[in-house]
Amino acid sequence: MNRLILIRHGETLWNREFRLQGSSDVPLSELGEDQAQRLARSFTEKPAAIFVSPLARTQSFAAPLASRFGLKPKVMENLREMSFGRFEGLRYEDMDDSLQQAFKLWIEDPVKNTSPDGESIAALTARVRKAAEDICDSLEEGAVALAVTHGGVIRAIVAALMDMPLIAVGRVQVYPGSLTILDKVDGHWKLVRLNDTCYIDS
């Protein structure tokens, strides 16, 4: 058995401002930095490796955990958040009429409709499934890996590994700073925990 613990980074400045973030490189807020410290203090399961996305908010969030366990995080491109294209950096009220219409269609059916100049859910799911399998394949039997990544990535990994339809990617809730745990046993993935915030709430 191997265990993959997916951690969504903490709150960012754009989360606070209700801006669509996607693959833009936005730093953690003060609360997000505090969430990282709280998680590192209370987390008990020793990992063999820590993986992060190329975006600074995951690397900042992982830093206290990496320091505690004496590990150097490994940057994995396929853990990058989904690109929201022309929606990124905007609030709904900032969009012009054509973008608002595109946004409504995207929210209603994100499988059929892709954000303008953005990434499709099918493409996201394919690359993050590969990321999860690559991480697991890099581990010795019985080892645990942490992947500090993004909400869309975690939702897509869960949907992909649990053989859910693509539409499920938009229907799984993943809060900032939360943990989602998956075990791979005899070649099969099992969802052990989803969206657990107990480590940062304590």
The angle formed by the CA atoms of residues 181, 196 and 65, to the nearest 5 degrees, is 70
pLDDT tens digit string along 100-148?
Answer: 999 999 999 999 999 999 999 999 999 999 999 999 999 999 999 999 9
| Residue whose structure tokens are 């960012």 | 12
Q: 2-201 adopts what CATH topology?
A: Rossmann fold (3.40.50)
Say what the pTM is.
0.96
* SS3 state of residue 146: strand
**Assign residue 186 a region: left if phi > 0, alpha if psi is -120 to 50, beta otherwise?**
left
Q: Which residues contact 12 (CB under 8 A, 6 or more apart)?
A: 21, 26, 27, 28, 29, 32, 57, 176
CB 181 within 8 Å of CB 3:
yes
Share the mean pLDDT of the chain.
97
Domain boundary assignment for the chain: 2-201
